[in-house]
Chains A and B, each alone.
Chain A
Amino acid sequence: MADNSSVSRQICAKFGNDKGRMMDILLGVQAQAGCIAPDALDEIAKSLSASRVEVESAATFYAFLSSRPKGRFVIRLCNDVIDRIQGMDRIADALKAEVGVDFGQTTADGLFSLEYTPCIGMSDQAPALLINDKVITRLSTDRVREMVHTLRTTKNLEQLKLTLGDGNNSHPLVRSMVVNNLRERGAVVFAPSTPGVALQRALSEQPVELIKIIKASRLRGRGGAGFPTGMKWEFTRAAEGDRKFIVCNADEGEPGTFKDRVILTEAAGLMFEGMTIAGYAIGAAEGILYLRGEYSYLLPFLEDTLAKRRAAGLLGRDILGKSGFKFDIRIQLGAGAYVCGEETALLSSCEGKPGDPKTRPPFPAQKGYLGMPTAINNVETYCAAVRIVENGPGWFTSMGTQGSAGTKVFSVSGDCSSPGVYELPFGITVAELLARVGATDTIAVQVGGASGRMIGPSEFGRKLCYDDLATGGSIMVFGPGRDVLAVAAAFMEFFVEESCGYCTPCRAGTRLLADRLERFLKGSAAPGDIDYLEKTSKTVKTASRCGLGQTAPNPILGTLQSFRKEYERRIRSNGRVFLPSFNPTSAVAAAEAIAGHVSMHFPAEKAGAKQ
């Protein structure tokens, strides 16, 4: 490992000692020195003319950054709910046995660290894990044994025998075993298109006319919130600012979503073209692609795609001969924080700060990145914008429904025979989708990821669109025998981990909710606990500062609505136990240890008998 201080100085210099590039600097130091040690904080602060605690603030926010040295191979096992139902525990046990340490620990020889990480965007090929930035999917215990053995003997990640995936997954700059599972190509995102055609057309229009075209297409944000894209561009164009920015949100962290992974792999050019068109429309010269840290295996490939577009005159100065129009894109890598998918948190992260959401208003269209007008859209939204410019708004609105024009790319995972990516017109019913993906006897579907809504069979006739069941595309299918409350509990655990901690209801409230839900799973829930869950969920939903907290209680509220019996049947109310969640035996355990003798009233062996 290199010396932390000199590495820090070099990397800061590489990024022009610019505090705004803190994320890249921290990631760079970590990559070279193995961690961001206390001394490195001082060194970085000095180089950037920042305060030490400011650097520490960013360095301690992101899950992929560490203040202590970790193993040469950091194995991060995905603990998303789909991975859990597809054998995560067996994989975890195999990892512990092979590596020889528990999760959260590093081996004495400094070779391996074991950690859990939330959804890494591989739910269609779960269970999956990351080793440093390499993705390993479709895990089996045999593969774990073989993998750990290879790494231990060769100490080289490239020695792992992996069958490369389809499409660009086997591109020389990707070389990943990830497969696309692209099951249905629709007319918009995954249809064939020629780079530059739409951009040429866009540049022949006045920017204002271009925005009119997007508005006429009724395109809405594909990330899930569904804000009209044309309106967002119009606001950003109208806002005053010396510089304007186009940001693409590729921080696809919503559990069960992986469609952007496939778009980034197979249609990155389309996405970059959409950003360029947006840049022309709003008058921006700079774009940022915020790529989640989990997808860093795609970074060299995406950089190469950008370089090729620059060489082809599709980025840079006087794009496609249009005098005066310049636009370029940089990629900002994230470092493990779901909250950065929230657009203002994403901007904070791009600015090199912890991923805390910003106060709104002002909205990013007015004051976004660096306080300048910024249009932020989802990966899929930019792709759709290109095709709208290419084929006209009428073509786009002929697909989908009145309120939800066009197609949607769905990420389908869980109990079905063909998990993967499906591009289908908006308005398809849940039942139709389930039939397509080969799901039978489905008991529940989680629409929209952890922050979405769980529905039961009685609601499978509902439509997937903004007017009915809105979704950013995550569809998790649960078959017979799955425990919907365990699913909800896994999601709550996720929100507790991923809350930024800025506001009270999200920081404290999600923990309180997760703990109370746990009582139902442990069999210690009392009748009043349903009421507590409902009221506290409402408080967290109402009072939270950003979308994370405002949707964090959804796993509870959704299951309470559709699966209330699952709660009721687990309540202990035999009339003898006043507070089932209170276990007097464990409550006196610490005192027993101090006193050095067992309790006369609540001895351990009688605990069961007394209740």
Chain B
Amino acid sequence: MSNKVIFTVDGASVQGEQGQTILQAAALAGIYIPHLCAMKGLTPWGSCRVCTVLANGRPQAACTMPIAEGMVVESETAELKDLRASLVEMLFVEGNHFCMFCEKSGNCELQALAYRMGILSPRHPYMFPTRRLDASHPDVMFDFNRCIQCARCIRASQELDGKHVFQFIGRGAHKRIGVNAKSGAAGTNLGVIDKAAEVCPVGCIVKKRVGFAVPVGQRLFDSKPIGTEIESRKAQSR
């Protein structure tokens, strides 16, 4: 078959298919490349840059870069690991993330990445921004202190729910998630069963009244680090 593509990740040979991104092909082969904005089922976005790898020596976001025959991908080098940690730390200081009283703790991908990377405290100073809350919607609530601007909600609403509930507004440091109504989330057609209400990797978009339905200790990343589900594929295929 001509659509098979062979490339390497940190020296290991990986077979993927034409049209796949580095992140997708590596994941299917059981190689975990840390990422946040990328999510299976959503259009690749490339904003968090946590999945930065070297592809044939050039820095690229693994989530948007298509694979090519013979491509040499470097991922787990000391420099790239440090770069990713620095980016994750930027996301922490840029918002207001208080894991100890966030209901997403244990299910939060940002927190889980920090644990996996061994981040104890950020190298960057906290910015302590003033961010909004939007609790106007009857079933879903927004704490923008925790938003990392991954655009998952924007994409999920458009691509999976067939709606346009979210979009970025503003620019630069003022860029933030806007909702499709003058009056806040209550004015939108967001539904509690929408995918957009589920895809948030952090505790920015949370459903009301179910916050502690799964107790701390039994949550997604409480026993195994993030990425384990991908890496276990490799273990199985051995």
A associates with B: yes
Name A residues whose Cβ lies closer than 8 Å to a Cβ of B: 38, 41-42, 51-54, 56-57, 60-63, 337, 354, 356, 359, 361, 496-505, 507-509, 511-512, 515, 532, 535-536, 538-539, 542-545
B residues near A504, Cβ cutoff 8 Å: 47-50, 87, 90-91, 94, 148-149
Within 8 A of A (CB), among B140-177: 148-149, 164-175
Partner of A545, one of B47, B148, B173: B47
**A507 CA to B94 CA, complexed, in Å:** 9
**A298 CA to B66 CA, complexed, in Å:** 42
Closest beta carbon of chain A to B76's beta carbon, Å: 16
**A515 CA to B91 CA, complexed, in Å:** 16
Assess whether B28 is interfacial by the CB under 8 Å rule. no
Question: A52 to B180, Cβ gap below 8 A?
Answer: yes
Most-contacted residue by chain B among A52, A63, A498 (CB, 10 A): A52
Closest beta carbon of chain B to A49's beta carbon, Å: 11
- Can you report 26 A-B residue pairs in the complex whose CB atoms are below 8 A from each other? A51-B167, A53-B178, A57-B167, A57-B168, A57-B169, A60-B170, A337-B171, A356-B168, A359-B44, A359-B64, A500-B172, A501-B175, A504-B94, A504-B149, A505-B49, A505-B87, A508-B124, A508-B127, A512-B90, A512-B124, A535-B82, A535-B86, A536-B86, A542-B59, A543-B83, A545-B46
Question: A503 to B182, Cβ gap below 8 A?
Answer: no
Size bin of chain B's contact surface: 35 or more
B residues near A509, Cβ cutoff 8 Å: 90
Question: A511 to B127, Cβ gap below 8 A?
Answer: yes
**A38 CA to B181 CA, complexed, in Å:** 10
Most-contacted residue by chain A among B46, B164, B172 (CB, 10 A): B172
Known interface pairs A501-B174, A536-B86, A543-B52. Does A38 touch B182 (Cβ–Cβ under 8 Å)?
Answer: yes
Assess whether B93 is interfacial by the CB under 8 Å rule. yes
Question: B170 to A501, Cβ gap below 8 A?
Answer: yes
4 A-B pairs closest in CB distance: A501-B175, A51-B164, A53-B180, A508-B90
Known interface pairs A51-B167, A539-B87. Does A57 touch B178 (Cβ–Cβ under 8 Å)?
Answer: yes
**A52 CA to B171 CA, complexed, in Å:** 17
**A51 CA to B164 CA, complexed, in Å:** 7
> Known contacts A337-B171, A504-B87, A508-B124; can you find 16 more A-B pairs with CB under 8 A?
A51-B164, A53-B180, A54-B164, A354-B171, A361-B65, A500-B175, A502-B47, A504-B50, A504-B90, A508-B94, A511-B127, A512-B124, A532-B123, A539-B86, A545-B46, A545-B49
Closest-by-CB residue of B relative to A356 is B168
Assess whether B125 is interfacial by the CB under 8 Å rule. yes
Known interface pairs A57-B178, A501-B149, A507-B173. Does A539 touch B83 (Cβ–Cβ under 8 Å)?
Answer: yes
Within 8 A of A (CB), among B60-94: 61, 64-66, 82-83, 86-87, 90-91, 93-94
User: Chain A interface secondary structure, helix, strand, loop or mixed?
Assistant: helix
Most-contacted residue by chain B among A41, A63, A543, A544 (CB, 10 A): A543
B residues near A535, Cβ cutoff 8 Å: 82, 86
**A359 CA to B38 CA, complexed, in Å:** 13
**A54 CA to B168 CA, complexed, in Å:** 8
Closest-by-CB residue of A relative to B94 is A508
Closest beta carbon of chain A to B23's beta carbon, Å: 13
Closest beta carbon of chain A to B93's beta carbon, Å: 7
Question: A53 to B149, Cβ gap below 8 A?
Answer: no
**A54 CA to B163 CA, complexed, in Å:** 12
**A61 CA to B167 CA, complexed, in Å:** 12
Assess whether B179 is interfacial by the CB under 8 Å rule. yes
Known interface pairs A42-B182, A52-B181. Does A508 touch B47 (Cβ–Cβ under 8 Å)?
Answer: no
Known interface pairs A51-B167, A51-B180, A544-B49. Does A499 touch B172 (Cβ–Cβ under 8 Å)?
Answer: yes
Known interface pairs A56-B178, A508-B94, A512-B90. Does A545 touch B171 (Cβ–Cβ under 8 Å)?
Answer: no
Known interface pairs A51-B164, A51-B180. Does A542 touch B83 (Cβ–Cβ under 8 Å)?
Answer: yes
**A536 CA to B50 CA, complexed, in Å:** 14
Within 8 A of A (CB), among B28-70: 44-50, 52, 59, 61, 64-66
Closest-by-CB residue of A relative to B164 is A51
Closest-by-CB residue of B relative to A67 is B169
**A337 CA to B181 CA, complexed, in Å:** 26
Partner of B179, one of A41, A53, A496, A507: A53
Closest beta carbon of chain A to B174's beta carbon, Å: 7
Closest beta carbon of chain B to A544's beta carbon, Å: 7
**A539 CA to B35 CA, complexed, in Å:** 16
